[in-house]
């Protein structure tokens, strides 16, 4: 398929980010959620972020999205400091958050409407529906769609803004195992096609190994970077191959979830 526009990806730099929140029971005190995070993502790189629940992964993504501000530290996309939300940084959550009163086409157009560019970009909507394989469902409403289809609409809605960075917060977390594996291939295809810089939060170690160039492991809260692992396997990756399983063992052992068999 020929795409009319090719996105120019940008790298991301996260430098010494600290973020605290008021403690709900004692609003005068604050608890650290991120305790000094630094890492970079190269342009067009796909990096996964894994770590225990509550370690600050979503908080970090919201900071990169510009939806919240850090207490200290710098966030950069390319050479520009992140000071607020921008269509250049797309965010997709576990829940597709589609507008139930709009069709598939309407939902994908919503990003263009919000930016006031629907008139000039309307011809791209069909292209993005094809890209995620939903052209036959243009006039369907969200309640007509399966979970995987709805998530593909959410991806198309983010991609139609040609983001330089795509932030994915457990985007496949609500899907069954088979749909999830199919969707991993879909997301990889979109990534290869668009060459967008991607930061993917996932709890699924296999997903992280299958998809990423690099896995960044965070510690318990307050979140810090524990370790970074380059996944230097050719794609498409074999989930049952020896090197894949070696990465799996290494990461699970590092996270202490390997169970008795590894002892
Ligand atoms: N708006 C907020 N107000 C107060 N505390 C918050 C807020 N947002 C996040 N936190 C706290 O910050 C910490 C990190 O939360 P975050 O949602 O980033 O974790 P996470 O790594 O995404 O967890 P999970 O894997 O369960 O999604 C938690 O202790 C959470 O309670
Ligand atoms: Mg989260």
pLDDT digits (tens, 9 = 90+) for 163-172: 999 999 999 9
For atom 10 of ligand 1, which residue has the closest CA? 21
Q: Is 5 inside any structural domain? A: no
For atom 8 of ligand 1, which residue has the closest CA? 59
CA of 58 to the centre of ligand 1 (A): 7
User: 178 and 84 in one domain?
Assistant: yes
User: 248 and 170 in one domain?
Assistant: yes
Give φ, ψ of 39 to 5 degrees: -170, 165
The encoded tokens of residue 194 equal 């668009």
pLDDT at 255: 85
Buried b (16+ CB within 10 A) or exposed e, 196-230: bbbbbbbebbbbbbbbbbbbbbbeebbbbbeeebe
What are the pLDDT digits (tens) for 87-127? 899 999 999 999 999 999 999 999 899 889 999 999 999 98
Q: What's the CATH number where 197 sits?
A: 3.40.50.300
pLDDT at 248: 96
Contact 17, 26 (CB under 8 A): no
CA of 221 to the centre of ligand 1 (A): 9
Q: Is 93 inside any structural domain? A: no
Q: Is 7 inside any structural domain? A: no
Q: What DSSP line would sit under 174-222, residue for residue?
A: TS-HHHHHHHHHHHHHHHHHH--EEEEE-S-HHHHHHH-SEEEEEPSSS
For atom 11 of ligand 1, which residue has the closest CA? 33
* 260: pLDDT strictly greater than 70: no
Which mutation among 22, 28, 30, 57 tests ligand 1's pocket best, with the greatest number of atoms within 8 A of CB? 57
Ligand 1: atom nearest CA of 52 is 25
Contact 72, 17 (CB under 8 A): yes
For atom 14 of ligand 1, which residue has the closest CA? 56
User: 27 and 153 in one domain?
Assistant: no
The encoded tokens of residue 219 equal 């510690």
Query: In angstroms, what CA-CA distances link 238 with 161, 182, 258?
Result: 32, 14, 21
117, 139, 162 - which closes a domain: 162
User: 177 and 155 in one domain?
Assistant: no
Terminal Cα-to-Cα distance of the chain (whole angstroms): 49
For atom 25 of ligand 1, which residue has the closest CA? 53
Domain boundaries, position 210:
12-88+165-258
User: 20 and 67 in one domain?
Assistant: yes
Distance CA 134, CA 141 (A): 12
Q: Is 190 inside any structural domain? A: yes
For Cα atoms 77, 192, 204, give the angle at the middle one, nearest 5 degrees.
80
Contact 106, 99 (CB under 8 A): yes
Confirm whether pTM is higher than 0.75. yes
Count of structural domains, the chain:
2
What is the DSSP pairing of strand 72-77 with strand 80-81?
antiparallel
pLDDT at 257: 67
User: 214 and 150 in one domain?
Assistant: no
For Cα atoms 82, 86, 87, give the angle at the middle one, nearest 5 degrees.
145
Q: Which residues pair with 230 in a beta bridge?
A: 214
User: 140 and 179 in one domain?
Assistant: no
What are the pLDDT digits (tens) for 31-51? 999 999 999 999 999 999 999
162, 188, 210 - which closes a domain: 162
Ligand 1: atom nearest CA of 24 is 4
Q: Which residues pair with 84 in a beta bridge?
A: none
User: 158 and 172 in one domain?
Assistant: no
User: 197 and 145 in one domain?
Assistant: no
CA of 111 to the centre of ligand 2 (A): 23
| Lookup result for tokens 């096609």 | 193
Distance CA 189, CA 166 (A): 14
Q: Is 2 inside any structural domain? A: no
132, 162, 192 - which closes a domain: 162
């Amino acid at each position: 398929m020929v795409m009319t526009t090719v996105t120019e990806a940008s790298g991301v730099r996260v430098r010494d980010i600290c973020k605290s929140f008021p403690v709900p029971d004692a609003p005068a005190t604050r608890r650290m959620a991120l305790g000094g995070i630094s890492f970079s993502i190269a342009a067009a790189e796909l990096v996964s972020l894994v770590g225990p629940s509550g370690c600050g992964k979503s908080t970090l993504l919201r900071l990169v999205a510009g939806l919240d501000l850090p207490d200290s530290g710098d966030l950069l996309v390319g050479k520009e400091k992140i000071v607020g939300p921008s269509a250049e940084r797309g965010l997709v959550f576990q829940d597709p958050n589609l507008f139930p009163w709009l069709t598939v086409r309407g939902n994908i157009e919503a990003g263009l409407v919000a930016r006031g560019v629907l008139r000039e970009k309307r011809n791209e909507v069909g292209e993005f529906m094809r890209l995620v394989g939903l052209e036959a469902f243009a006039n369907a409403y969200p309640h007509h769609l399966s979970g995987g289809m709805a998530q593909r609409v959410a991806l198309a809605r983010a991609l139609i803004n040609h983001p330089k960075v795509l932030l994915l917060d457990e985007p496949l977390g609500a899907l069954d195992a088979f749909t999830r594996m199919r969707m991993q291939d879909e997301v990889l295809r979109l990534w290869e096609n668009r060459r967008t810089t991607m930061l993917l939060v996932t709890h699924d170690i296999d997903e992280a190994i299958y998809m990423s160039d690099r896995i960044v492991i965070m510690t318990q809260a307050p979140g810090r970077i524990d370790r970074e692992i380059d996944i230097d396997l050719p794609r498409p990756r074999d989930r049952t191959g020896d090197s894949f399983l070696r990465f799996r063992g290494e990461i699970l052992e590092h996270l202490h979830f390997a169970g008795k068999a590894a002892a």
